């Protein structure tokens, strides 16, 4: 038999097997939209705020010791993950996230045996309007600090390892997907590492913005019904438990109405994803084959690539990441549009902003880890194929330009291509330089 609970609208029969309250039940029934539910990371971040608020409210003599202990115990139960099935509300709900905030309040109330009221105790000194954006910041900051940045560091170190191991290998450079002057493999791999490092730097700057929380602003930013020092005390409590140095945002009117910290963060995530996407595509090109493509590098063969062609293997990790980048690009447009759509004292796109940011951070973390572990770590250089291409390259002729002039060098290249001969053989048709001198000028080692 399901329970009957009540809220300000009256009584409501609760979905069988659940402990949430009437407000949550109404939302569950009225918003049957899509399959996307609020990310559990946001739920856990809201719960951390509730836990900290209970402790701070007791110190401010606004909450009894008994109620503090009951709420803290209830929060710990939720944070353990054993009640995740109580948080099933869709992303597509009220724009402030009130329904999810009340979902947490009501579950916590039930876990106190109904002793603590969802609004009067669990939501004491708070409003959805400051709790929900603070929770997004906390959730995203944790993913970035403990998942994404370590993943990016791991990928960067792998490229540096590859650069060190292949420092003596010279290959044909390519621009416009056409042969260009030689380049060291180490230069190519180091460029990848630098791209990742740039992303780490941008994301680090974004993380600093996320660490400033609008908690304590309550409904519109003026802190109504909130005790003095509540914001700083809650930030300290959350910091102790998360290992991140959260601080209260000075201008809470700004924090509730503007989402620039989130758009800045998402932009940094998108930029980094774009860099990794470019690298992934490079790897795909260099590894294409195995016999009829470029084939300069080998990537791990992890699984069968075709249901009809026996023995075919595809660059699946790369394809997975490029799809992730497509999703992140869409999320960036969503976050940007939603952030610009705020009105007066509130942004009413918070659930989709939070969902998009958390999904992007999670996908980028997992995608980088997977690409690194199942692809980049297993890359080997096909030195024989690299040397073959280098020996046949026409663009080493560039080194002859200062000696013979651009037009003569161009004629040499065209002759070599048309007649299928080496640049040295072609050069001897257009100048009187001896073969050993041409060999010296055209030495790829001197070009890199």
For residues 177 and 286, membership in a common domain is answered with yes
DSSP H or E segment with residue 381: strand 380-381
Q: Which of 5-9, 195-199, 256-260, 349-353 has the lowest average pLDDT?
A: 5-9
Is residue 340's pLDDT more than 70?
yes
β 297-298/380-381 pair status? antiparallel
Single out the residue of 55, 79, 78 nearest to residue 68, CA to CA. Answer: 55
pLDDT in the model for residue 2: 65
Is residue 7's pLDDT more than 90?
no
Q: How confident is the model at residue 315 (pLDDT cuts 50, 70, 90)?
A: very high
Q: Which of 181-185, 290-294, 351-355, 409-413 has the lowest average pLDDT?
A: 409-413
Q: Which of 79-83, 243-247, 303-307, 359-363 has the lowest average pLDDT?
A: 303-307
Distance, CA of 150 to CA of 280 (rounded, Å): 19
Q: Give the count of domains, the chain.
A: 3
In a domain, 363, yes or no: yes
* CATH number of the domain residue 103 falls in: 1.10.275.10
Is residue 410's pLDDT more than 50?
yes
In a domain, 282, yes or no: yes
**Span 46-55, pLDDT tens digits:** 999 999 999 9
* CATH number of the domain residue 413 falls in: 1.10.40.30
In a domain, 295, yes or no: yes
Cβ neighbours for 312, distance < 8 A, ≥ 6 positions apart: 304, 305, 306
Range of the domain at 426: 394-447
* CATH number of the domain residue 309 falls in: 1.20.200.10
**CB-based contact 393:179 (threshold 8 Å):** yes
Is residue 41's pLDDT more than 50?
yes
For residues 118 and 138, membership in a common domain is answered with no
Higher pLDDT, 27 or 391: 27
| Token reading at 373 | 């572990």
pLDDT in the model for residue 171: 95
Q: What is the pTM of this model?
A: 0.94
For residues 218 and 362, membership in a common domain is answered with yes
β 4-7/10-13 pair status? antiparallel
Is residue 313's pLDDT more than 80?
yes
- Active-site annotation holder among 197, 306, 365, 370: 306
For residues 41 and 190, membership in a common domain is answered with no
Q: Which of 236-245, 291-300, 328-337 has the lowest average pLDDT?
A: 291-300
| Phi, psi (rounded to 5 degrees) for 428 | -65, -15
Distance, CA of 429 to CA of 379 (rounded, Å): 41
Query: What DSSP assignment string belongs to 409-445?
Result: HHHHHHHHHHHT--HHHHHTTT----HHHHHHHT-HH
For residues 21 and 75, membership in a common domain is answered with yes
In a domain, 48, yes or no: yes
pLDDT in the model for residue 50: 98
Sign of CA dihedral 167, 170, 176, 177: negative
For residues 158 and 289, membership in a common domain is answered with yes
In a domain, 90, yes or no: yes
In a domain, 249, yes or no: no
pLDDT in the model for residue 86: 97
- Active-site annotation holder among 117, 176, 260, 365: 176
Is residue 116's pLDDT more than 60?
yes
For residues 194 and 329, membership in a common domain is answered with yes
In a domain, 37, yes or no: yes
For residues 333 and 375, membership in a common domain is answered with yes
Is residue 1's pLDDT more than 70?
no
pLDDT in the model for residue 404: 87
For residues 58 and 98, membership in a common domain is answered with yes
Mean pLDDT of 59-80: 98
Cβ neighbours for 407, distance < 8 A, ≥ 6 positions apart: none
Please identify, among 359, 383, 407, the residue that sits at the C-terminal boundary of a domain. 383
pLDDT in the model for residue 444: 82
Average pLDDT, the chain: 95
For residues 178 and 295, membership in a common domain is answered with yes
**Span 153-178, pLDDT tens digits:** 999 999 999 999 999 999 999 999 99
Reply yes or no on whether 127 is catalytic.
Answer: no
Distance, CA of 359 to CA of 353 (rounded, Å): 10
pLDDT in the model for residue 436: 86
Mean pLDDT of 343-357: 97
**CB-based contact 171:396 (threshold 8 Å):** no
**CB-based contact 7:117 (threshold 8 Å):** no
Single out the residue of 3, 78, 70 nearest to residue 46, CA to CA. Answer: 78
Residues in the chain: 448
Please identify, among 357, 383, 409, the residue that sits at the C-terminal boundary of a domain. 383
Burial class from Cβ neighbours inside 10 Å (0-12, 13-18, 19+) for residue 6 reads exposed
In a domain, 292, yes or no: yes
Please identify, among 76, 96, 124, the residue that sits at the C-terminal boundary of a domain. 124
Cβ neighbours for 422, distance < 8 A, ≥ 6 positions apart: 391, 392, 416
**Cβ atoms within 10 Å of 309's Cβ, excluding its own:** 9
**CB-based contact 183:173 (threshold 8 Å):** yes
Q: Which of 59-68, 265-274, 302-311 has the lowest average pLDDT?
A: 302-311
11 - beta bridge partners?
A: 6
Reply yes or no on whether 176 is catalytic.
Answer: yes
For residues 186 and 325, membership in a common domain is answered with yes
For residues 265 and 223, membership in a common domain is answered with yes
Q: How confident is the model at residue 262 (pLDDT cuts 50, 70, 90)?
A: very high
Distance, CA of 64 to CA of 66 (rounded, Å): 5
Mean pLDDT of 120-130: 97
Is residue 71's pLDDT more than 70?
yes
Single out the residue of 79, 208, 214, 81 nearest to residue 149, CA to CA. Answer: 208
């Amino acid at each position: 038999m399901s329970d009957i609970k009540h809220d300000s609208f009256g009584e409501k029969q609760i979905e069988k097997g659940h402990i949430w309250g009437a407000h949550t039940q109404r939302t569950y029934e009225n918003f049957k939209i899509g399959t996307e539910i609020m990310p559990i990371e946001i739920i856990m971040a809201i719960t951390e705020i509730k836990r900290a608020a209970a402790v701070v409210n007791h110190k401010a003599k606004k909450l009894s010791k008994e109620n503090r202990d009951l709420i803290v115990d209830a929060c710990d139960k939720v944070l353990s993950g054993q009640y995740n099935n109580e948080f099933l509300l869709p992303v597509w709900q009220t724009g402030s996230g009130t329904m999810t905030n009340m979902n947490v309040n009501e579950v916590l109330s039930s876990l106190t045996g109904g002793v603590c009221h969802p609004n009067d105790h669990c939501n004491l000194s708070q409003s959805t309007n400051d709790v929900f954006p603070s929770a997004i910041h906390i959730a995203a900051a944790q993913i970035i600090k403990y998942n994404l940045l370590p993943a990016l560091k791991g990928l960067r170190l792998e490229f540096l390892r590859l650069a060190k191991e292949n420092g003596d290998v010279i290959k044909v450079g390519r621009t416009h997907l056409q042969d260009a002057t030689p380049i060291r493999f180490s230069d190519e791999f180091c460029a990848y590492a630098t791209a990742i490092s740039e992303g780490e730097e941008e994301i680090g700057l974004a993380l600093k913005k996320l660490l400033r929380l609008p908690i304590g602003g309550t409904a519109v930013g003026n802190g109504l019904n909130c005790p003095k020092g509540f914001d700083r005390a809650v930030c300290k409590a959350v910091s102790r438990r998360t290992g991140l140095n959260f601080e209260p945002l000075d201008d809470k009117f700004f924090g509730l109405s503007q989402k620039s910290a989130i758009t800045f963060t998402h932009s940094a995530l998108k930029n980094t994803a774009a860099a990794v996407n470019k690298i992934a595509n490079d790897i795909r090109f260099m590894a294409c084959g195995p016999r009829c493509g470029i084939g300069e590098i080998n990537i791990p063969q992890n699984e069968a690539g075709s249901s009809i062609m026996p023995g075919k293997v595809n660059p699946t990790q790369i394809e997975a990441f490029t799809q992730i980048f497509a999703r992140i690009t869409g999320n960036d447009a969503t976050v940007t549009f939603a952030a610009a759509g705020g009105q007066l004292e509130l942004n009413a796109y918070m659930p989709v902003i939070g969902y998009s940011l958390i999904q992007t951070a999670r996908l980028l973390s997992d995608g980088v880890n997977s690409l690194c572990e199942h692809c980049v770590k297993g890359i080997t250089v096909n030195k024989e194929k690299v040397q073959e291409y280098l020996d046949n390259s026409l663009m080493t002729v560039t080194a002859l330009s200062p000696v013979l002039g651009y037009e003569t060098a161009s004629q040499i290249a065209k002759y070599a291509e048309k007649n299928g001969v080496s640049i040295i053989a072609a050069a001897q048709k257009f100048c009187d330089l001896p073969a050993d001198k041409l060999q010296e000028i055209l030495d790829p080692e001197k070009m890199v």
